Amino acid sequence: MNIAVIGSGHVGLVTGACFADLGHKVICADSDAKKIQTLKSGKIPFFEPGLLDLVVKNAAKKRLSFTTSIATAVKRSEVIFISVGTPTKESGEADLSSVESVVTQIARSLTGYRLVVEKSTVPVETGNWIKRTMQINLPKSRKADFDVASNPEFLREGAAVQDFMKPDRIVVGVEIKLSEKILSSIYESIDAPIVVTDVNSAEIIKHASNSFLSAKISFINMVSRLCERVGADILKVSEGMGYDRRIGPSFLSAGIGFGGFCFPKDLAAFIHIGEKAGADFGMLKEVININEGQKKHFIRLVKDTLWNLNGKKIGVLGLSFKPDTDDMRFAPAIDIIRSLRNDGADIHAFDPEAMPVAKTVLRDIRFARNPYETARSADALLCLTEWKEFREIDLARVKRLMKRPLIFDGRNMYDPKALGELGFEYVSIGRPAVR
């Protein structure tokens, strides 16, 4: 099938490259000319495991191309996926101005029938807005026609290609049978259950799923605070809960809270959607409160142990909001580092992939060349992202390098007993501290 993907970011580019790899002919469009130039030159604008190979391979096979022109993308396609950003306004509401702009341009470029599919995460009833906007902007003289469908994306950055190719489910929100047929045939070679529903329900599935996962994280973080008070071990509590098939083990890791482009914004948007519809989504406000509180709690642990921070050297391992991505959007590391900097701490950070992006966000810290450099003469070491390479670090060497062998582990990466035996002071989340 000939497919256009409008918006070539973390979701759009993965979608385009994976569709091309499934054998479709895909054109990816983006208003960012620099991004399109990068893609045309055989590079990708962000780090995502496996994506570069897929882009290069399918571009060489002429199944994947790039353009800044939405009109060109519309002309060459039968199905158009919209995957532009839907950021948060100050009110918490999703900002849909990019969606409106893209839809207007699609309508004005239409010459025949197209299926227009929302892939971006959008509030319920956006499908209706898209339909109305299309109708208003359709060229009067030409034989243009369209249908609107919803196909929310559930991929996780860092495992995006794998998630796209092997999803738990594919959700398809349609108004007519033809749209279902088209979308089912696009995904034909992917082995996953397809949930077919109306457009409104599909839109709600995405927001409800992300809000539920965020709630699970805040729940376990809440319990971790109790564990700290009474000397229990949150890892054991999570394990004991996770074996229950009704609960499941995923998203039960206590830490410094969730971040990233999706959870904070989708929670805020879902709360706004609930309020607008007169439904009480107060539970989700508490999910945000606990998440914010978790970062503050971690900062307090650091301050209560180090006393005055002014002039003290603090090493930081990990900056991205989670491992295997260079995405820094709403990363907990940003708030934590800014707070410590405000108190005069001298921060030396290392991240395997996120440093180029982090340098544009955190301008007043130093960046190290490797994890050991962050530890040299440090008063404390903070673990903020659970990259695999940090788990495998030579901790005896780290101890020799540090001024005070003190680790604050915001991701529960290490075994407290082993660190105690090595001579570290070790403070983690929801587990007894080793001092």
Ligand X SMILES: NC(=O)c1ccc[n+]([C@@H]2O[C@H](COP(=O)([O-])OP(=O)(O)OC[C@H]3O[C@@H](n4cnc5c(N)ncnc54)[C@H](O)[C@@H]3O)[C@@H](O)[C@H]2O)c1
Using CB under 6 A, list all residues that contact ligand X.
Answer: 6-12, 29-32, 35, 83-86, 98, 101-102, 120-121, 153, 155, 157, 261-262
Task: Find the shortest distance in angstroms from Cβ 183 to ligand X.
Answer: 17
Task: Find the shortest distance in angstroms from Cβ 271 to ligand X.
Answer: 15
In this structure, the chain runs to a length of 435
Residue 252 and residue 235: Cα distance in Å, rounded?
9
Task: Find the shortest distance in angstroms from Cβ 24 to ligand X.
Answer: 19
C-beta of residue 343 within 8 angstroms of C-beta of residue 309:
yes
Choice between 11 and 161, CB closer to ligand X: 11
Which residue is listed with tokens 């390479």? 389
The single-letter code of the amino acid at 49 is P
Q: Is the dihedral of CA 384, 390, 391, 394 positive or negative?
A: negative
Task: Find the shortest distance in angstroms from Cβ 156 to ligand X.
Answer: 6
- Considering the candidates 18, 28, 227, 262, report the single residue annotated as catalytic: 262
Helix-helix angle 126-137:199-230, to 10 degrees: 140
Which residue is listed with tokens 């800044």? 68
Task: Find the shortest distance in angstroms from Cβ 1 to ligand X.
Answer: 21
Q: Where are the alpha helices (DSSP H) in 231-258?
A: 234-242
Choice between 267 and 306, CB closer to ligand X: 267
Q: What is the CA radius of gyration of the chain?
A: 24
What are residue 418's phi and psi, to 5 degrees? -65, -40
Residue 197 and residue 175: Cα distance in Å, rounded?
8
Choice between 174 and 268, CB closer to ligand X: 268
Choice between 101 and 197, CB closer to ligand X: 101
- Residue 321: closest CA among 361, 284, 286, 282: 361
Task: Find the shortest distance in angstroms from Cβ 51 to ligand X.
Answer: 12
Which residue is listed with tokens 């130093």? 366
262 carries an active-site annotation: yes
Closest residue to ligand X: CB criterion: 9
- Residue 270: closest CA among 213, 211, 216: 211
Choice between 94 and 215, CB closer to ligand X: 94
Choice between 118 and 228, CB closer to ligand X: 118
**Which residues are catalytically annotated?**
262
